[in-house]
Structure 1
Amino acid sequence: MKNILSDFDLSGQEIEDLLGLATKIKAAPASFKDSLKNKILGMVFQKPSTRTKASFEAAIYQLGGHAIFLDSTNSQISRGESLAETAKILSGYTNGIAARVYYQADLEDMAMASKVPIINALTDKYHTCQILSDLLTIKEKKGKLAELKLVYFGDAGNNVAHSLIISCSKVGIDVTIACPQNEKYQPSKDILVKAKRDVLGKIEITENWNAAAKDADILYTDTWVSMGMEKEKNERINDLMDYQINSKTLEKAKADCIVMHCLPAYTGYEISETVLKGPKSVVYEQAENKMHMQKAVLYQLMKD
């Protein structure tokens, strides 16, 4: 496993192996406290981050390593140095690089230039580590992955929806996307076609949120207004309001369903405050599990 640039880089078995490793590390952190001693993680973040940044930094420190953090304000990226050049230089100082960049193509250029593994910490197309940690949460809460039904509501043309479709279907979770017919809210057709070549679970797309929610084990949503879409806010809210996860959605799902959101959440829009803070919500477990999964990813890629 040289890089994790997208969910397509991982087989279903490799995902299961990472989940097993994350579970092991979470259960006995002291056994791994020096497993990456003196290893250095480079972090190149073009976009703001709270959970992803903090979880990667905490993960490498707790495994005995260190982090070097670069963003667009504290590096020569702000003066036009390319991400590929940055990765090439940084790879001479580090044992791995986690990159949160605007475009998937830039991440792939970084991988071509780097001598060390590159990890997707978010791009426009994929949010791979987020979904790996989400799968850890699902397995903890449900005791299994195969034959569960996950329903994603809202804007499905984003990185979270794409990664859910790919990774969940590889481990046997049936994924239903409930979103408007408007193409900008639909998953990428190219990603869908590619994802369907390697699936254990079903992948379905519908505009009928009511039918989609029926018998769901997992309800998932994400912000409707991602960074850079602020001018579209009113239009998006109007288009997507029917897809809010609220008490009506819960009534259709299974009684023991869980509710997930990668955060930050904007209550009153994609999810009601009552549901976000209610007993079915596992959003804070999701957030914590990012650190445990980042540990597994870093250990797997940087231990040698």
Structure 2
Amino acid sequence: MAFNLKGRHLLTLADYTPREIEYLIDSAIDLKNLKRAGVFPKNLVNKNIALIFEKPSTRTRCAFVVACNDEGAFPEYLGKNDIQIGKKESIADTAAVLGRMFDGIQFRGFKHESVEGLAKHAGVPVWNGLTDKYHPTQILADFMTVKENFGRIKGIKFAYVGDGRNNMANSLLIGAAKMGMDFRIVAPADLFPEQAIQELAATFAAESGAVLTYTDQVGDGVAGCDVLYTDVWASMGEEDQIPDRIAKLKPFQVNQAMVDATQNEEVIFLHCLPAFHNDETELSRQFPDICEVTDEVFSGKRSRVFDQAENRMHTIKAVMVATLA
């Protein structure tokens, strides 16, 4: 069933119904199949897309650029040194100007209030490419990968392990509650999501039948799960906290013992990337215990991290087509 999402923003999945989320994921799967068949519908010809990046990016930037090019749109990258948003020009004024020139705006930055301000004043669809609070385009790619592997999203047993109060944990919690999953946050108790987000997720779970669990007991949290998911232990801008996070989160490292503890031979491993899983980065050489996942798991047969990374592009394309075309 098609949905009319034209003109809609994507700031958080809390604003979308389960059927709308499923529609975006199914559209992404269709667009992925078309691309692999060499078919490009060019749904966005003559559309111009502003890409605002306060934070650097690999997957989000590349996904938006390739998606734009595939569909016939023109992407304009605006880095932190290219635009004066919130510094010399207010967010409202910036939004009003960009909305007169562009058909859609992507924002990747720090404060969630910034992307909300853009959406309020731009007059065109605004998409959240990441804020400190939410990362909805990533969750669409995650759930697309889940559906490709299991044929469904509802009822999937999904364990997120590690830092349970970052933007990935928040976003997965909201998305899982919307989609009726058996979702577990497995983290130290002082790193559970903030109470307001737990309460919001609980309202969605009451409607969808989702089961939401918060536990600091790794064995109980991962038992029987279909998906193991983790993220870096210190988010961008938190590098000064790395030693403390290592000490606190080392017991929550995703390793082969944790995979075995799921007692599910079909379990898959997901990660939003970038990941610390070996000694081939500057930080992992400086902090040898920083790896939130072992290379054995990250590079192993249950890992789907690069399928998941590719799916960022297909789901972002689906969002742009649905809200613009």
Residue in 2 that maps onto 1:186: 192
- Aligned residue for 1:239? 248
Alignment of 1:106-185 (within 5 A): 106-182=114-190, 185=191
Partner of 2:259: 250
Q: CA deviation at 1:287?
A: 0.4
Partner of 2:96: 88
Deviation at 1:116, TM superposition (A): 0.2
Q: Deviations over 1:163-217 (max 9, x none)?
A: 10111221121110000012xx111211110111112211110000111111110
C-alpha distance in structure 1 between counterparts of 2:69 and 2:257, whole Å: 43
CA distance in 1, matches of 2:89, 2:69: 28
Residue 31 of structure 1 and its aligned partner are, at CA, apart by 4.5
Rounded to whole Å, the distance in 1 between the matches of 2:241 and 2:87 is: 29
By how many angstroms is 1:101 displaced? 1.7
Q: Does 1:22 align with 2:28?
A: yes
Report the CA distance between 1:252 and its aligned residue: 1.1
Shift of 1:32: 4.1
Separation in structure 1 between the aligned mates of residue 192 and residue 92 of structure 2, nearest angstrom: 30
Matched residue type, 1:190? A
The one-character-per-residue Cα deviations of 1:212-253 (angstroms, maximum 9, x if unpaired) are 111110000001111111111000000011100001101111
Of 257, 263, 269, which residue of structure 2 is paired with 1:259?
Answer: 269
Separation in structure 2 between the aligned mates of residue 14 and residue 294 of structure 1, nearest angstrom: 14
Q: Structure 1 residue 288 and structure 2 residue 310: aligned? A: yes
Distance in 2, matches of 1:195 and 1:85, equals 33
Instruction: State the distance in 1 between where 2:314 and 2:261 align.
Output: 32
User: What's the % identity of the aligned pairs?
Assistant: 36
1:68 to 68, 72, 76: 76
Distance 2:297 2:230 in 1: 12
> Which residue identity lines up with residue 233 of structure 2 in the other structure?
W
- Contact 1:71 1:77 (8 Å CA) reproduced: no
Given that 1:152 and 1:220 are in contact with CA atoms closer than 8 Å, whether structure 2 keeps it comes out as yes
Q: CA deviation at 1:78?
A: 8.5
Aligned equivalent of 1:102, options 86, 110, 113 = 110
Query: Are the aligned partners of 1:84 and 1:106 in contact in 2 as well (CA < 8 Å)?
Result: no
> How many residues end up aligned between the 2 structures?
301
Whole-angstrom CA distance in 1 between matches of 2:162 and 2:259? 15
The equivalent of 1:195 in structure 2 is 201
Provide the C-alpha distance between the structure 2 equivalents of 1:252 and 1:82, rounded to a whole number of angstroms: 51
CA distance in 2, matches of 1:151, 1:54: 28
For residues 5-53 of structure 1, what are the alpha-carbon distances to aligned partners after superposition, in whole Å with 9 as ceiling and x for unaligned? 1111111010011011111111113554311111111111100100001
Structure 2, unaligned stretches of length 5 or more?
278-288
Q: Per the alignment, in what secondary structure is the counterpart of residue 203 of structure 2?
A: coil
Q: In structure 1, what is the Cα distance between the partners aligned to 2:275 and 2:26?
A: 29
Shift of residue 89, structure 1, vs aligned partner: 0.9
CA RMSD, Structure 1 to Structure 2 (Å): 1.3
DSSP-derived class of the 1:121 partner:
strand
Shift of 1:81: 2.2
Q: Distance in 1 between matches of 2:322 and 2:153?
A: 22
Task: Tell whether 2:299 aligns with 1:277.
Answer: yes
> TM-score, normalised on structure 2?
0.90
